Amino acid sequence: MSELCLLTNLSSSEWAAWVQAVGSIAAIIGAAGIAVWQSRKQHQNSIELLRAENRFTRTELARSFLSLSSNCRIAMGHAAGKLKNREAVHAIAEGQVHFDFEELKVIEGAVRAIPLHTLPSSLVGLTMIVSSTVRQFREKVQSALDAYRSMDGAAFEDFFRTLAEMQESLEASCADIRTKLIEIERDA
């Protein structure tokens, strides 16, 4: 040890101080490295958790949209069932039979209130189709109830055919939504 000290002109206490200084620097660098590694690991875990939450949210939004669309289909079917023939339209329009037209407005509002930016992109087009179908259904019913006295046989046939087509369209949209939901759940 004294030869080493002689070659460098350092005393053993100076060597001890240098070794201690180098050791302290190595410990600081090691502690910083561990802190950086832990921070990166925590950030990676946070990203993975956020991705899992996003997958869950997308799936729940898709399920909710399917449920809402299915309920729209049921409500539209119920409304169309009440408007099954010319006499039923006259009776409803004249207030002889109760028809919950406000429920159609509520359903339309619920579908319209879906924030498209929160849905999985594969459901945006379908949401717009469902919203449009529900709105057109309500408008068609409103139009028939307003103009029932001036409607002839052809107009009534068009009205009943259009309601049936809208119900078929909504049924097809619900089937498409189910398919997209399966894909979303599979990818989650």
Q: HSE, CB side, 13 Å, CA atoms: give it for residue 52.
A: 6
- Would you kindly state where each structural domain of the chain is located, as residue ranges? 57-187
How far apart are alpha carbons 98 and 103 in whole angstroms?
Answer: 12
Confidence band, pLDDT 50/70/90 cuts, at residue 142: very high
Write down the pTM of the prediction.
0.73
- Region at 85 (left for phi over 0; alpha for psi -120 to 50; beta for the rest): beta
Sign of CA pseudo-dihedral 8, 11, 12, 15: negative
How far apart are alpha carbons 181 and 175 in whole angstroms?
Answer: 10
CB atoms within 10 A of CB 72: 23
Q: What digits encode the pLDDT tens for the residues 80-97?
A: 999 999 999 999 999 999
